[in-house]
Chains A and B, each alone.
Chain A
Amino acid sequence: TQLLEQSPQFLSIQEGENLTVYCNSSSVFSSLQWYRQEPGEGPVLLVTVVTGGEVKKLKRLTFQFGDARKDSSLHITAAQPGDTGLYLCAFSNDYKLSFGAGTTVTVRA
């Protein structure tokens, strides 16, 4: 069984600070996805990483996929209150998504 471990579980920072969320597994993945979910809404896909060592940037968000394709990280630079939400990593197996436990990020103004 492939399992995704996310850390930290909770993260509370001041506006303007940086933060990093980690997603780890002992298994190798063909790809990993990152989602953000706001309260009372469904998750929204941020990015899919496919290639080992890949780095993708989405404005102030930087996503990395480990060389061995077992881990990934999400780094937010100069966080803003609008970045507040639940960040989830997930992998796809036969089209079914399995999610990590999530990281609740709170950015204080």
Chain B
Amino acid sequence: GAVVSQHPSWVICKSGTSVKIECRSLDFQATTMFWYRQFPKQSLMLMATSNEGSKATYEQGVEKDKFLINHASLTLSTLTVTSAHPEDSSFYICSAMTGNQPQHFGDGTRLSIL
């Protein structure tokens, strides 16, 4: 149980385009979802916390207008990287939790901006 699915797993796009990443909790309802970014050889850094039906809370230094988060249902959150540039290339990972249970992580999305 507690499966979190991310899509796509890998995306390459041109600089200036927008990219949407989906995060789904497949077998449970996630009251809260989190988005992380991980650069090569580094740890996970929390970008934002999203609760269903409300605005996401962004960590310091993360541009909310660049990283749009929508959490429209208890099983789906999306992260849209707007006007992506090469420096946005990274591994984006979501996690989902319900109640006070541990977070369950997706398998990540490798984003490469050319």
User: Main SS of the interface on chain A?
Assistant: strand
Taking the complex as formed, is B78 at the interface, i.e. its CB lies under 8 A from any CB of chain A? no
Total contacts A-B at CB 8 Å: 46
Rounded to whole angstroms, the CA-CA distance of A44 and B113 in the bound complex is 27
Q: Are A88 and B107 in contact (CB under 8 A)?
A: no
- How many B residues touch the partner, as a band? 20 to 34
Q: Are A40 and B108 in contact (CB under 8 A)?
A: yes
Q: Are A41 and B108 in contact (CB under 8 A)?
A: yes
Residues A98 and B110 in contact in the complex (CB < 8 Å), given A33-B102, A42-B93, A48-B102: no
Taking the complex as formed, is B34 at the interface, i.e. its CB lies under 8 A from any CB of chain A? yes
Rounded to whole angstroms, the CA-CA distance of A96 and B108 in the bound complex is 18
Give residues 14-58 of A contacting B (CB, 8 Å): 33, 40-45, 48
Q: Are A101 and B42 in contact (CB under 8 A)?
A: yes
Nearest chain A CB to B26's CB is how many angstroms away? 14
Q: Which residue of B lies closest to A4 (CB)?
A: B43
Taking the complex as formed, is A97 at the interface, i.e. its CB lies under 8 A from any CB of chain B? yes
Q: Are A102 and B46 in contact (CB under 8 A)?
A: no
A96 contact set on B, CB distance < 8 A: 34, 46, 49
Interface set of B (CB-CB < 8 Å, partner A): 4, 6, 9, 32, 34, 41-46, 49, 93, 95, 97, 100, 102-103, 105-108, 110
The 3 A-B pairs of least Cβ separation, nearest first, read A42-B105, A99-B43, A102-B43
